[in-house]
Chains A and B, each alone.
Chain A
């Protein structure tokens, strides 16, 4: 056995680093996923899919991965994650428009710094709260920030700030200029593609980091906190401080995503990055993709952003379309799109081996519909005629 291969349960597992073991199938899926991520610009140029929307979806998905860290492990529902997304985006915008910073790297560092400070402050205040109080308190801070930015001249009110310095795009480590100079690429294309590949690299790094955090003793402690706070306290976990750290970490994801979003859009307005419904969307992306999975939030991000931003060009009633997709997820895919996949494939497998199961399915569905109709009729009868 080499350093990267281990034998477990009679199967060969691939081990890229300590603790992370993948079966052959998982390796293939991971590689496919990475290849797909890198091939997105080519796929979108060949098909009708929108490159910029997928890029945005990945960025929101990255914020959702951060939120999922909190949601999945400490079981805290944050309804204010747009605060960090917006803080990152505004960090970039303020640095470039007020201080004329043009290096994309420095801008992104600024975004991370702003989001971290904000997450530290908010996290300190909310770490002791639970359930709905936690959700509504984070929502309150999010909305205070939104209202403050919307009505402050420093942030240029509702019109927002531009990310360009003197009309130029920020430089992305010099890669985009190099592309323009040597290959003669169109500057806009060079900028967008470089930014996309930077995003993909950052995303992959963040996913590995997330995986590391989740499987560290710290991650286990978060799980314990999510299951039962009192018990976690008894076994010696400093609950409030750990929640505070987890909150800050998940805020940093939002800050990075927001900073990249500002670099992509080149203009930051309060509504698309800070409004409380953006917080909701980030939360729903995590649920849509599957809370129990690592990359689910990314898939959820791409799907939801696609539906919210682009469906309007195909159907008139695009809100309803998004709503119906979400309803289907709630009722048909209870663990999210990615989380339910194993169950669906197992079910299909069983039915392929034993086709008689299909007949049972049909009778079950028929019986449940009949029962619901009967109950609905009797409820209506009781409402109209009373119990007798």
Chain B
């Protein structure tokens, strides 16, 4: 019983942290640019497809792991490949912002939705053009599980999930450090809080926005990469559900709040796994995150850590 509770909680953490990586990009884009990016899920899917090509190429270069140590080397190579795949999304995000998103900041909100929806549709076909319509799988999942993790404390649980949980936590820590301690991060926060003032002291808002959008795309792609090296394949429609769930997460956490997105992602992940595994209510699995969101919005409309336009 306790063991299954731990397993379900770990499953929830794994799921939640994948969602956090996607939602973190969305929340910083929303917090700084004020754009609700519907194409964000497709950036996630693009990361998943890119990792198939890049990791597939890289793992061809290293030998099949034979022991624990070689398995760790293999895992490091896969992680580097995921980073490389996500890095491809940096210029993609920057180009999107500069060409498509920049002209519509001044327009009504609904046009942002229409524009990003158009980008979503175009991205689906870009991926169809690049990788075809059938799902692709990196097939590194079983090898990643050879990395010893939970065996050290005495029970067996897929190591891949543990790796994702660790990576997700590192991403959160890095983001907090970046926005809190670095100069660029502070400039971004200043721009989010007061655009006119930061322009007046010499910040180029255009460049800041491009940077933020590129960063958002990077983390969406990285989330996709981490999901795609797991048991599931990368497929064309994979962006839709995470997109909708990241809405839920950024609303529960408070729009634009990084800490909120982290807490909310874990809440959503753990609760949706507990509804099935612990409370035994599989018919509520899909609805649970939305019920949570509706309750939070009705009780505390600004979300758990609600801040408008500020990243905390």
Are B109 and A280 in contact, CB atoms less than 8 angstroms apart? Answer: no
Are B207 and A151 in contact, CB atoms less than 8 angstroms apart? Answer: no
Are A77 and B287 in contact, CB atoms less than 8 angstroms apart? Answer: no
Are A323 and B121 in contact, CB atoms less than 8 angstroms apart? Answer: yes
* Given A132-B255, A277-B240, A280-B38, residue A287 in contact with residue B110 (CB < 8 A): yes
* Given A132-B255, A140-B248, A144-B294, residue A327 in contact with residue B115 (CB < 8 A): yes
Contact-residue bracket for chain B: 35 or more
Are B121 and A319 in contact, CB atoms less than 8 angstroms apart? Answer: yes
Chain B residues contacting A64 (CB-CB under 8 Å) are: none
Are A287 and B111 in contact, CB atoms less than 8 angstroms apart? Answer: yes
CB < 8 Å neighbour of B113 from A141, A276, A280: A280
Q: Does B234 make an interface contact (CB < 8 A)?
A: no
Are A326 and B117 in contact, CB atoms less than 8 angstroms apart? Answer: yes
CA distance A110 to B94 in the complex (A): 50
The 0/1 profile, CB within 8 Å of A marked 1, for residues 280-312 of chain B is: 001111110011011001100100000000000
Q: Does B92 make an interface contact (CB < 8 A)?
A: no
Q: Which residues of chain B in 233-266 are interfacial with respect to chain A, using CB atoms and an 8 Å cutoff?
A: 240, 244, 247-248, 251, 255
CB < 8 Å neighbour of A140 from B129, B282, B290: B290
Q: Does A283 make an interface contact (CB < 8 A)?
A: yes
Binds B, one of A163-171, A182-190, A203-211, A329-337: A329-337
CB < 8 Å neighbour of B118 from A277, A291, A327, A376: A327
Are A334 and B107 in contact, CB atoms less than 8 angstroms apart? Answer: yes
Are A382 and B294 in contact, CB atoms less than 8 angstroms apart? Answer: no
The 0/1 profile, CB within 8 Å of A marked 1, for residues 103-127 of chain B is: 1100101110111011111101110
Chain A residues contacting B117 (CB-CB under 8 Å) are: 280, 284, 323, 326
Are B298 and A125 in contact, CB atoms less than 8 angstroms apart? Answer: yes
* Given A136-B297, A140-B248, residue A329 in contact with residue B282 (CB < 8 A): no
CB distance from A275 to the nearest CB of B (A): 9
CB < 8 Å neighbour of B285 from A143, A151, A287: A151
Are B118 and A71 in contact, CB atoms less than 8 angstroms apart? Answer: no
Q: Which chain A residue has the least Cβ–Cβ distance from B30?
A: A132
* Given A133-B297, A323-B118, A324-B122, residue A330 in contact with residue B129 (CB < 8 A): no
Are B293 and A376 in contact, CB atoms less than 8 angstroms apart? Answer: no
Chain A residues contacting B298 (CB-CB under 8 Å) are: 125, 137
Are B121 and A322 in contact, CB atoms less than 8 angstroms apart? Answer: yes
CB < 8 Å neighbour of B207 from A319, A376, A382: A382
CA distance A152 to B283 in the complex (A): 7
Q: Does A131 make an interface contact (CB < 8 A)?
A: yes
Are B301 and A133 in contact, CB atoms less than 8 angstroms apart? Answer: yes
Q: Does B100 make an interface contact (CB < 8 A)?
A: yes
Q: Which chain B residue has the least Cβ–Cβ distance from A125?
A: B298
Chain A residues contacting B113 (CB-CB under 8 Å) are: 77, 280, 283-284, 287
* Given A133-B301, A280-B38, residue A330 in contact with residue B285 (CB < 8 A): no
Q: Does B128 make an interface contact (CB < 8 A)?
A: yes
Are B114 and A326 in contact, CB atoms less than 8 angstroms apart? Answer: yes
* Given A137-B294, A139-B247, A319-B121, residue A330 in contact with residue B104 (CB < 8 A): yes
Q: Does A23 make an interface contact (CB < 8 A)?
A: no
Q: Does A175 make an interface contact (CB < 8 A)?
A: no
Q: Does B82 make an interface contact (CB < 8 A)?
A: no
Q: Does A26 make an interface contact (CB < 8 A)?
A: no
CA distance A133 to B252 in the complex (A): 11
* Given A147-B286, A283-B110, A284-B114, residue A319 in contact with residue B124 (CB < 8 A): yes
Are B129 and A327 in contact, CB atoms less than 8 angstroms apart? Answer: no
Q: Which chain B residue has the least Cβ–Cβ distance from A329?
A: B114
The 0/1 profile, CB within 8 Å of B marked 1, for residues 366-388 of chain A is: 00000000001001001100000
Are A330 and B293 in contact, CB atoms less than 8 angstroms apart? Answer: no
A-B contacts, 17 listed (Cβ < 8 Å): A71-B110, A129-B297, A129-B301, A137-B294, A143-B287, A144-B294, A147-B290, A151-B284, A151-B286, A280-B38, A291-B110, A317-B129, A323-B125, A324-B122, A326-B115, A330-B104, A330-B115
* Residue positions of A touching B, CB distance < 8 A: 71, 77, 125, 129, 131-133, 136-137, 139-141, 143-144, 146-148, 150-152, 276-277, 280, 283-284, 287-288, 291, 317-320, 322-327, 329-331, 334, 376, 379, 382-383
A-B complex: 8 closest residue pairs judged by Cβ atoms: A147-B286, A323-B121, A326-B118, A147-B287, A320-B125, A323-B122, A151-B283, A317-B125
